[in-house]
Amino acid sequence: MALVDRWYKILNILETNSNISQNALEDSLGTSRQTLKKNIQLLNKELNGIARITLDNHQYSLSIIQFEEYEKILSGKLKKESDFNSSSKRIAYILKRLIEYDAPITINDLSEELSVSRGTVTNDINSIRDVIQLYEVKIIGVTNKGLVISGSELNLRLLYINIVLDYFSMERVNEIIKQKILSKCRDLKVPKQSINLLIRVVETSFMRIAQGHNLIDEIKYYQNFISNTDVFEQFIIFLEEEYDITLSSNERDFIGFPFNIYNQGNEPQKEYNFDISAYIFSAMMKKIHGLFIIEFDENKLYEEIKVHLSHLINRLLMRIKAKDLFSIQLEAKYPLSNAMAKVAGQVIEKLIGRPVPDVEISYLTLYFEMALNRGSDSSNKDIAVICHTGRGTAKMIKQQLQRVLGNNVNISVYSQNEVNNELLEKYFAIFTTIPLRQDAITIPVIQLSTIFDDNYVREQWERVERNKTIDSAYIKVLVTNLDDTLNYKENLKKMTDTLEQHLLTDPDFVKRIFKREEIKSTVFDNGIAMPHAINKKSNKVVLNVGKFEAPFLVGSKEVEIVFMIGIPEDAPAVIENVLLEVYEFFFMVVNTPEIKERLLNAKDNAEVKELIRKEVI
């Protein structure tokens, strides 16, 4: 990575995270502590008087002194000021020459213009080929003439916008026109992150039009949400008058795309056609339900996600990366929702023809997590509050708990002398400021200080709620040792027979398992499979964990662990929660080698159940 590119990556990370540890920043950049320290020293010299990166108590933070000058830095000032010693700037220059000039150009010409060797230019072109492959663009050698660039007009423009203009100044948008555009942007209430992009789009569009390269084809799936608004029409008229040209509808739509990639509320007013979003959402749900037997309010999710999907589609089409606002790894925090989001991403990629970046998967993960959480058991729960200083302080703590936990709890308060085992056993959980001396209390106990931290209480409450679900009243766990002398189907039959022998599944459960396998294999990555079907025999979630002694080949994939899940036909909310916990654990095993290893080493049903409880909760 070129130094200037690393500088911008550092700034982007520090903008998202107000504080970030040395280790986390090193990991994000893939560099050593010594290299990072040197990079930041050099960057601080460039930022002198504008901003400052400081290290305090092993935490990096960014302080901005001159916001206007800092905005210029973010707009690419450091890249534009770099010289051809930077490979990134050489790459941008080569792309600029290839896109702006129709005639072939030789490596000798580029070598002379850049004042570098032919070998350096050849290496740069090889690097360019890796970059432009993502844009479906190619560099082609023409015999005895030189190099030309080949790709659709849309992709060539996006390449120019996203790479070339990072390093080179505008030629068609002069300062006067730029100030007029900024004024129009204020009228249109354009978000800050879109203004610089809009100026680049105007520069690129009129450069290509002047060269005779017009957008002939409509952009499939793209929507211009503001095409019929007066403010956008006035903006187009302004551009046509400035450049003395009449723009086609395709050119208008392209120039409008910076307005259509982020949801900034109702300004400017947008008109959505949700047909595409509805079609994609339907395909997403079909794929997800083909992999998971899981229930949530799809209509509610669609209403929440449809606008996001509309902007997401436009971002993918225009190859715009959403800003990564996530300081946590959502895959680890919400494994089931993340797995659903990845499935949704695969569907979108197949339909739209663009890869879905990880940051977009993170946004989808949050939507699915909200949808799943709505399915949680909303029945009121009784909890007890015990305080050593008496009922007065306990009532104060009750008010704090009510604020944190909401109205779905019934809170009773007691002093230390009022409680006994028989009294406490009827409660869902106990909050106490004192160590309880009663023996054999089976109810979850959460220790508090008199004035407690809200986040701590939320975390402990979630732990208690989830702990209650992994209970023998709601789940039955078995372990089956699988036989590598049998084929995979025979091993699945062995697992279903075990469940039926324990009177846990109905006679047709095995048929439903194999019918589901015929529709689509339930073998996932990393040696894990999850055959699952409706079970009409038990009102519990039934989990049979099958384990091979060594990786077992199923088709082209190896399998070590088989999660066979029987799902009650009419599951109440609490059973739905248990099922979610089992799914969460499954994807933890898929994604975390350490947990997978512990599961392989678990000797019996109790150890597997305890591992689920420990990891999920």
Kindly tell me if the per-residue pLDDT of 400 is higher than 70.
no
Q: Per the omega criterion (within 30 degrees of 0), is the bond before 268 cis? A: yes
Domain 275-373: assigned CATH number: 1.10.1790
Residue 105 per-residue DSSP state: B
Kindly tell me if the per-residue pLDDT of 122 is higher than 80.
yes
Q: What is the pLDDT at residue 465?
A: 56
Domain 475-616: assigned CATH number: 3.40.930.10
Strand partners, 381: 409
Residue 162 per-residue DSSP state: I
> Which pair of structure tokens corresponds to residue 400?
């704090």
* CATH, domain 87-167, list 1.10.287.180, 1.10.150.530, 1.10.10.10, 3.40.50.720: 1.10.10.10
Q: How many CB atoms lie within 10 A of CB 172?
A: 15
Write phi, then psi, for 235 (nearest 5 degrees).
Answer: -65, -45
Rounded to whole angstroms, what are the CA distances from 429 to 52, 444, 463?
A: 49, 5, 11
Counting beta carbons within 10 angstroms of the beta carbon of residue 86, is it exposed (0 to 12), middle (13 to 18) or buried (19 or more)?
A: middle
Tell me what the mean pLDDT of segment 543-555 comes to. Answer: 90
Counting beta carbons within 10 angstroms of the beta carbon of residue 525, is it exposed (0 to 12), middle (13 to 18) or buried (19 or more)?
A: exposed
Tell me what the mean pLDDT of segment 9-38 comes to. Answer: 82
Rounded to whole angstroms, what are the CA distances from 550 to 90, 205, 483, 544?
A: 51, 59, 10, 18
Which residues have C-beta within 8 Å of that of residue 433, sequence separation ≥ 6? 386, 387, 388, 389, 393, 397, 447, 448, 449, 450
Q: What is the pLDDT at residue 158?
A: 96
Q: Which of 428, 325, 433 is nearest to 382 (CA)?
A: 428
Q: Which of 311, 309, 466, 296 is nearest to 369 (CA)?
A: 296
Measured CA to CA, the distance from residue 242 to residue 236 in angstroms comes to 10
- pLDDT tens by residue, 39-78: 888 888 888 888 888 888 888 888 888 877 887 787 777 7
Domain 3-77: assigned CATH number: 1.10.10.10
Q: How many CB atoms lie within 10 A of CB 16?
A: 13
CATH architecture of 381-469: 3-Layer(aba) Sandwich (3.40)
Most confident listed range (5-14, 102-111, 192-201):
102-111
Which residues have C-beta within 8 Å of that of residue 474, sequence separation ≥ 6? 540, 541, 574, 575, 578
- pLDDT tens by residue, 484-520: 999 999 999 999 999 999 999 999 999 999 988 887 7
Measured CA to CA, the distance from residue 342 to residue 338 in angstroms comes to 6
Which pTM does this prediction carry? Answer: 0.68
Q: Which of 203, 199, 201, 310 is nearest to 261 (CA)?
A: 310
Measured CA to CA, the distance from residue 171 to residue 208 in angstroms comes to 12
Kindly tell me if the per-residue pLDDT of 430 is higher than 70.
yes
Tell me what the mean pLDDT of segment 86-108 comes to. Answer: 91
Q: What is the pLDDT at residue 436?
A: 63
